[in-house]
Amino acid sequence: MSKTILILNGPNLNRLGKRQPEIYGATTLPEVEDMCRDAASVLGLSAECFQTNHEGQMIDRIHAACDGGADGIIINPGAWTHTSVAVLDALNSFDGPVIEVHISNIHKREPFRHHSYVSGRADAVIAGCGVQGYQFAVARLAALLGPR
């Protein structure tokens, strides 16, 4: 039975490929999700993807993962990275590994982006690798979850 990973994307990530392509690139969110599912499959994992612009929906999805809906989480919290103690609290109730992903290097951007609430819970943080960071996160999560 394969392990399930959950790939969560926060606000505005549904606009990938259209929103500030000079920062986030031309790859769309459906393309990122396909890339994640393919990378997970190669590693013997099942991947579920979820994106929302509504904080409560994100928290509800994390709670569902806590109740047996996933073995590990990859999250790009978007702007909630810098603002949401609520997302952090939800992630703190998840027992499996969590990897935080950012497409851009948040440390080379505006000062308010340098702080992440989520990093306090994350087992790893990948930033500045473009959408390839998601593939790195899938590989790392597979390693953290152990043998199939």
Residues marked as catalytic:
24, 102
Tokens representing residue 50 in the block: 């979820």
Angle 29-42/132-145 helices, nearest 10 degrees?
Answer: 30
Tokens representing residue 48 in the block: 């579920």
Q: What's the Cα-to-Cα distance from 94 to each of 6, 69, 74, 104, 125, rounded to whole Å?
A: 12, 10, 12, 26, 17
